[in-house]
Amino acid sequence: MLVITHTGGLSVDILTFSQETLDSFLLKSQQIHKEAIQKALERYDKEIYTLIDHKRFFLIRLDERILLSTYGILRFKRRYYFDSFNAEYCYLLDNKLEIPKSTRMTNELILKILDLASIMSYSEVGTHVSDEFALSKSTIWKTINEVLLETHFATNKHKFHKFGKRIKKFYSKWCLSSN
């Protein structure tokens, strides 16, 4: 019997004699990694809470965040604060980890989508991205086009300088219509 213990003190029986296949071992270990990531994110949020200036940041509530990753669906709770100095609401965990407000996919999942899209159709990519969820071909298309548009604007800024307002207007309309 193989037992793994991670930093949370959780010990899990990964492989017993009744589970003889490599596939079952890999699925079980992937589930353990996913749970460890979720717990680590919640622990990190709790650590941020203990370190912040409570006169500046007022705790409003605890919200659940759902992110799609290659590990599967990551569900974790994080704290929502009011920043009294800037007079705005924020999630300090999201700010610290640089998770954009409206994103549901992790960067590593987007990279996997880009990689798979180069060798198979968008609908096939949606089914092969994760064992836990599937993405539609329109979601795959939208993700790829957002990455392509971002890289195009980042690499060709000097070409669009004289069309600045028109490009920004087009880009903001495109982003609004794609949501």
Same domain, residue pair 65 and 136: no
Same domain, residue pair 22 and 50: yes
Percent of the chain with pLDDT over 90: 57
Domain stop point among 69, 104, 139 = 104
Cα–Cα distance measured from residue 74 to residue 146, given in angstroms and rounded to the nearest whole number: 22
Rounded average pLDDT over 11-20: 55
Percent of the chain with pLDDT over 70: 74
| Nearest C-alpha neighbor of 123 from the set 113, 112, 110, 136 | 136
Same domain, residue pair 24 and 3: yes
Same domain, residue pair 93 and 151: no
Q: Is the pLDDT of residue 169 over 70?
A: no
pLDDT digits (tens, 9 = 90+) for 68-102: 999 899 999 999 999 999 999 999 999 999 998 88
The 3-state DSSP class for residue 75 equals strand
Cα–Cα distance measured from residue 174 to residue 157, given in angstroms and rounded to the nearest whole number: 18
DSSP for 7-36, written as a single string:
TTS-EEEEE-TT---HHHHHHHHHHHHHHH
Same domain, residue pair 88 and 126: no
Rounded average pLDDT over 10-39: 76
Same domain, residue pair 100 and 120: no
pLDDT at 115: 93
Same domain, residue pair 85 and 173: no
What is the residue range of 119's domain?
105-179
Tokens standing for residue 75: 């569900």
pLDDT at 14: 54
Domain stop point among 104, 132, 153 = 104
Same domain, residue pair 59 and 36: yes
Same domain, residue pair 121 and 90: no
pLDDT at 1: 46
> How far does the chain reach from its first CA to its final CA, in angstroms?
49
Domain stop point among 81, 104, 127 = 104
Same domain, residue pair 150 and 177: yes
Same domain, residue pair 127 and 87: no
| pTM of this prediction exceeds 0.75 | no
Contact predicate 4/10, CB 8 Å: no
Per the structure, how many domains does the chain have? 2
Same domain, residue pair 50 and 110: no
